[in-house]
Chain A
């Protein structure tokens, strides 16, 4: 087991390093001098030199990268050029909001995806294959940000049932109003993961049910309820991996949905950073989200052997 953990770690660390290099180079991809935003107009050469030195831009690029990396590792992601506050102070509250919504969304998609997937996996003969794949294709082709707009148009504007945008005003505890604000963005976020989870649950269940041990269990007279438990146990590692990836995509890809619903999360932060060309915030947010995505996949890899001990034997 320890060997397995070390092997996974040896794979993840270089990836994280690469991710940090990509994030670092975002600053240098940006057209123009990264300091134009903070540079006073008509600055003298001396002032320019001074500002460059204070930001560390007078050093060679690899040194800049290492300094940036060590700062980032100690939680210093630089200053927001617009708010003039540490980037981390901007990211943390946004992250909390994003996670709140993502947890709600992944909860919905687990309910829907596993339910539909099991249903499709057990009623294979009743529903034709082509119908299922066609629905799944339409499901993954939907521009989910647009579905958000449609939901707003129908449920919030036309019927007036739910609030259209934003987060509930802060109040003590977690009340009904918080949930009401989360329903529409939650459903929108859950849409694609539901389709993907349903598809993989269906495929895995069909695959497991074809295996001989299931037939043996049935032949030995085990009631369907008990064989079902065996099927679930054997299908869980694959499904867990898919859920992990989907949660990562939900958190990392929520920018469009958060923009539609004006949800004050990381997506909203990114959107503002893009609008005001606040590159340190853009860089920091993407670094945090991508690191989260990589670590989530790592944790899923670590959890796999607990569900299926065969994984460590390779």
Chain B
């Protein structure tokens, strides 16, 4: 597909077109492939909807998320005035689900962002410099790898105490080691290539080689890998909230809503499981989008 035919006998009008195709860079080509994938675009659409709604929450929600009403407690789904019913304190579910997206998505995305930055730096340094540096960084990563991820997140957040910042710290620490591993493996591979050797032979400094040659080549595997962790991060962040380790009431967050509505599961089972559906939708969409991204960026040379 990337090797357009330029046979001598072809019509001159078609001979122009191949030149145009060659001009497309790797990233442009990847974006083009992603834009043509219906599953990825569908997920992107749903996610944009959730994110836009969360950002514009004060202007589009029909009710105040914190005003409770004893009369309107646990109204069923599609009750007049409340499309998705109300929660155990009579607050509108739709309003709270939209508001909840703010913290739930932030707590899912921010740790991945932090971990990608920190993990890439650690992994590239370990992979590029090798030797003792590599050993120290990778053995420490191995230790954190020895914990099941849920256990590590719960342990760290449990020791640090409840709070948004503590959840962010614990989740970032959970995701740094796996990203470091991927970055290290990719860097070690690139470092052995001839063009890096050539750059070093011409006297380029380590930072220059890392920024100019290594980073451009390892960013694609690192980005695909860390984007594949976003879904897990959202599920874990909501899980910590569900255990009461995240934000405190009356603020809304999908995990915390699951937690507080759990007591009402015998009275209103549908309302009680609704926040989890949002976690599921967000997590599935991020994972499918990330899979589409991986497929789009996966070009065999």
Which residues of B are found within 8 Å of A251, using beta-carbon distances?
A: 148
Which residues of B are found within 8 Å of A16, using beta-carbon distances?
A: 146
Q: Which of A31, A260, A293 contacts B146 (CB 8 A)?
A: A293
A185 to nearest B CB, angstroms? Answer: 15
Contact present for A141 and B231 (CB under 8 Å): yes
- The docked-state distance in angstroms from the alpha carbon of A21 to that of B239 is 26
Q: Which of A145, A149, A158, A273 contacts B158 (CB 8 A)?
A: A273
B149 at the interface (CB under 8 A from A): yes
Contact present for B156 and A26 (CB under 8 Å): yes
Q: Which of A18, A31, A149, A152 contacts B160 (CB 8 A)?
A: A31
Contact present for B291 and A255 (CB under 8 Å): no
- The docked-state distance in angstroms from the alpha carbon of A282 to that of B153 is 12
B142 at the interface (CB under 8 A from A): yes
- The docked-state distance in angstroms from the alpha carbon of A142 to that of B280 is 6
Tell me the total A-B contact number using a CB cutoff of 8 A.
150
Would you give the 0/1 interface string for B222-252, flagging 1 where the beta carbon is closer than 8 Å to chain A?
0000000001100100110011110000000
Which residues of B are found within 8 Å of A249, using beta-carbon distances?
A: 148-150
B195 at the interface (CB under 8 A from A): no
Q: Which of B142, B149, B160, B242 contacts A145 (CB 8 A)?
A: B242
A270 with B158, Cβ < 8 A, contacts A256-B239, A259-B243 known: yes
Contact present for B243 and A271 (CB under 8 Å): yes
Which residues of A are found within 8 Å of B149, using beta-carbon distances?
A: 249, 253
Which residues of B are found within 8 Å of A256, using beta-carbon distances?
A: 150, 239, 242-243
- The docked-state distance in angstroms from the alpha carbon of A249 to that of B147 is 9
A313 to nearest B CB, angstroms? Answer: 24
- The interface size bin for chain B is 35 or more
Contact present for B265 and A18 (CB under 8 Å): no
A72 at the interface (CB under 8 A from B): no
Which residues of A are found within 8 Å of B277, using beta-carbon distances?
A: 146
Which residues of B are found within 8 Å of A273, using beta-carbon distances?
A: 158
Would you give the 0/1 interface string for A17-55, flagging 1 where the beta carbon is closer than 8 Å to chain B?
011011100110111000000000000000000000000
Which residues of A are found within 8 Å of B243, using beta-carbon distances?
A: 255-256, 259, 271, 274
- The docked-state distance in angstroms from the alpha carbon of A142 to that of B288 is 12
- The docked-state distance in angstroms from the alpha carbon of A158 to that of B272 is 13
A282 to nearest B CB, angstroms? Answer: 5
Binds B, one of A132-140, A173-181, A198-206: A132-140
Contact present for A137 and B147 (CB under 8 Å): no
Contact present for B280 and A253 (CB under 8 Å): no
A93 at the interface (CB under 8 A from B): no
Most chain B C-beta atoms within 10 Å of own C-beta, residue among A21, A142, A154: A142
Contact present for A143 and B280 (CB under 8 Å): yes
- The docked-state distance in angstroms from the alpha carbon of A162 to that of B286 is 34
Contact present for A18 and B142 (CB under 8 Å): yes
Most chain A C-beta atoms within 10 Å of own C-beta, residue among B244, B245, B284: B284
B139 at the interface (CB under 8 A from A): yes
A290 at the interface (CB under 8 A from B): yes
B81 at the interface (CB under 8 A from A): no
In the complex, what residue of chain B is closest to A249 when comparing beta carbons?
Answer: B148
A14 at the interface (CB under 8 A from B): yes
Count A-side interface residues using an 8 Å CB cutoff. Answer: 54
Contact present for B284 and A274 (CB under 8 Å): no
B276 at the interface (CB under 8 A from A): yes
Which residues of A are found within 8 Å of B288, using beta-carbon distances?
A: 134, 137-138
In the complex, what residue of chain B is closest to A259 when comparing beta carbons?
Answer: B243
Which residues of B are found within 8 Å of A275, using beta-carbon distances?
A: 244
A252 with B280, Cβ < 8 A, contacts A134-B39, A141-B231 known: no
Interface residues of A in 275-295 (CB under 8 A from B): 275, 277, 279, 282-283, 286, 289-290, 293-294
Interface residues of A in 30-85 (CB under 8 A from B): 30-31
B163 to nearest A CB, angstroms? Answer: 10
Q: A26-B158, A133-B291, A282-B155 are in contact. List 7 more A-B contacts (CB 8 A).
A: A26-B159, A146-B280, A153-B270, A252-B148, A255-B150, A259-B242, A290-B146
7 CB-based A-B contacts, threshold 8 Å? A18-B139, A18-B143, A22-B144, A30-B161, A142-B235, A143-B239, A149-B272
Chain B residues within CB distance 8 Å of chain A: 39, 139-140, 142-144, 146-151, 154-156, 158-161, 231-232, 235, 238-239, 242-245, 258, 262, 265-266, 269-270, 272-273, 276-277, 279-280, 283-284, 286-288, 291
